[in-house]
Amino acid sequence: MEAVYSKDEQGAYQTLKITIKQDAATVFKYLSTTEGIQQWFPQLSFEDRKVGGKMKFHMDGQADMEMEITAIEENETIGFTWDIGTVRFDLHDSGNETVLIFDECLPFEFPHIVLDFSGWQFQMESIKRVVETGSPLDQKDCDFDSKKQEIEEKLDLK
């Protein structure tokens, strides 16, 4: 997986790029339906699958966070608000594989930028694993500490 980080006066940005051995229509179902997304990110669900529609982020012991779908183009793009930031997935189909590009923008007011960025890196690897093998990654198999350290160094957010 390729990862690129940047920042400006508005906030911090992350772009992740991964190749999945499956067509874009299949990958898109894992990104844009409750049944698909919950296989790799079980806290997320869709309520109304259209631009302006709602998604939910469920955290045990807390009220669900509501998010708004900001872009959806079948088999090509899906984006949504992410707390006070935004995320977007773009799919590029080359027949037997799909290049999945994830863009995240978080304002500096977001409380845990580095943690969130490293979490999405895990989720991207998990999407790939679910689509290609049918089973998600286990969080204990991810080295979050080294990911967080790399992100902190590249973004210099201290």
Do residues 114 and 152 lie in contact, with contact meaning Cβ atoms separated by under 8 Å? yes
Instruction: Quote the distance between the C-alpha of residue 65 and its chain's center.
Output: 16
Query: Where do the domains of the chain lie, and which CATH numbers do they carry?
Result: 2-155 (3.30.530.20)
How far is 38 from 41, CA to CA, in rounded Å?
5
Q: Per residue of the chain (158 residues), give pLDDT as tens.
A: 999 999 999 999 999 999 999 999 999 999 999 999 999 999 999 999 999 999 999 988 888 999 999 999 999 999 999 999 999 999 999 888 999 999 999 999 999 999 999 999 999 999 999 999 999 888 887 788 888 899 999 998 76
User: How far apart are the two ends of the chain, measured CA to CA in Å?
Assistant: 25
Distance from C-alpha of 48 to C-alpha of 37, rounded to nearest angstrom:
14
pTM: 0.94
Q: Cβ contacts of residue 29 below 8 Å, gap of 6+?
A: 35, 36
